[in-house]
Amino acid sequence: MGWVSDFRGRVADVGWTSGTVFREFMRFNVTGCFNSAFAFILYELLYRVNIWDAHTAVAAWVV
């Protein structure tokens, strides 16, 4: 179990408490939600613009 105490020591050295881990986790998830919403809005916009008549969905997805 030496690796567990080494790990806990390294975590304590850099200041990663459970609160810090939770905040970083939530920040990651919120950023991912905004990123997904932005990509969906961009896709919908490009789909409605209809860049390529024969392949509307493909063109919107690729761009």
Q: Containing domain of residue 46, as a range?
A: 2-62
| Average pLDDT rounded to a whole number, residues 10-27 | 90
Which tokens is 46 given?
């490009």
For the chain, the domain total comes to 1
The answer to whether residue 9 scores a pLDDT higher than 80 is yes
What are the C-alpha distances in Å from 32 to residues 19, 35, 55, 61? Answer: 20, 5, 28, 18
Q: How confident is the model at residue 34 (pLDDT cuts 50, 70, 90)?
A: very high
| Average pLDDT rounded to a whole number, residues 17-38 | 95
Q: Report the C-alpha gap between 47 and 45 in whole angstroms.
A: 5
Q: How confident is the model at residue 57 (pLDDT cuts 50, 70, 90)?
A: confident
Q: Report the C-alpha gap between 24 and 7 in whole angstroms.
A: 19
Q: Report the C-alpha gap between 13 and 21 in whole angstroms.
A: 14
The answer to whether residue 16 scores a pLDDT higher than 80 is yes
The answer to whether residue 3 scores a pLDDT higher than 90 is no
